[in-house]
Amino acid sequence: MTDLGLFFAAFAAISWGTFFVPVRKVGIKNIWQLQGATSIGVLLFAIPVGYFWGFEIQLGGLVGGVIWTIANLLALYSVRLIGLARTSPLLAGSSIISSFVWGTAFFNETFDSLILALTAIGLLLVGLQLVVNGEKGSYIQKRGYFVAIASGLIGGTYIIPMQVTQTLQSGFFSSSLSIFVIGIPMFLLARKFIKRETIAGIISGSLFNLGSFSVLIAVGLIGITIAFPIAQTATLFAVSWGMFYFKEVIRRQGIVRISIGALVILGGAILLAIA
C-alpha cells in the first residue's frame, strides 16, 4: 500500500508539473477565460471517474472546489506577472507548509522524527527565500511573489474539507462540479472566446484533475502529510519548463538561485516525507 501510495503521489507531481504549460504557451492575457476553460477540462476528466467513485454531491467537495478556484485564479495572475519558473516553487513551498500545519494540528498526523520534520520546514522556508531573492525584482515582481505565496497557502487547504468529512474519493466529482459551476460564468463574462486559449485551458484542467485524482488516492493510502509534499515536487517540472522552454529567466545568477531554491524545496519535501 505504501509503495502504491508513493507511486500515485509521484504521478500527481508529473501531472501538476505540466498543468500550467498549455496556458503559459498561449499567453495568460484573459485570466477569466482561461479559468473558465480550465473548469471545463476539470469536469470532463471528472465525469468518467464518477462512474467508479460516484456522482454524489458532497459539501466537502463543493467547498474544496471553491477554495481551489480562488487559489488557481491567483496562480494564473502570478504566472502572468513573474512567470512559471518563479511562481511554481513559491506555490509548492507555501502549499507544503499549509498542508503540514493542517495535517499535524487538525488531523493529528505524527512523525517518527520531529527534528527531521522541523528541519524540512526550515528547508522549505530557505527555498522560498532563495526564489524570492533570485533576481533584483521590480514592484510587479514583488507583487507576483506575494500573490504566488498567497495562492499556495490557500491551495494547500483545498482537500481539507474533503478530509474533514471523510469524502476524499466521493468528493472528487463534487469539487470538480463546483469548479465548473464557478468557472462557466467567468468564461461567458470574458466575452472573448479565443479558440486556442479555450483548448489550452481545457487541457490544463484535465492535467490538473489527473493530478488531483492521483493525489487523492495517495492521501487515502499514505496520508496528507506525506502524499501532498511529494506531489508538490511538481515544482521541478514546472521550473524546468519555465526556465528552459519559455526562457523566463536569462541571467545566470537568477537561474542558479531559482534552481537551488527549487532543489531546496524538493529536499524539504522529501525530508518531510521520511520524517
State the cell numbers at 26.
498561449
- What's the CA gap between 204 and 39, in Å, rounded? 9
- CA-based Rg of the chain, rounded to a whole angstrom? 17
pLDDT single digits (tens) 105-136 = 776 766 677 777 778 778 777 777 777 666 55
Average pLDDT, the chain: 83
- What's the CA gap between 186 and 205, in Å, rounded? 15
Counts of helices then strands in the chain (DSSP H, E):
13, 0
| Residue 121: C-alpha distances to residues 12, 108, 259 (Å) | 21, 17, 18
Sign of CA dihedral 148, 151, 153, 155: negative
State the cell numbers at 48.
468518467
Element (H, E) at 100: helix 84-105
Whose cell is 496556458? That residue is 23
pLDDT tens string, the chain, 275 residues long: the values are 677 888 888 889 889 889 999 999 988 888 999 999 999 999 999 999 888 877 888 888 899 999 999 999 999 999 999 889 888 888 888 887 887 787 777 767 666 777 777 787 787 777 777 776 665 555 567 888 899 999 999 988 887 887 777 666 778 899 999 999 999 999 988 777 778 889 999 999 999 999 988 887 887 788 766 787 777 778 888 888 888 888 887 777 777 877 888 888 777 777 776 76
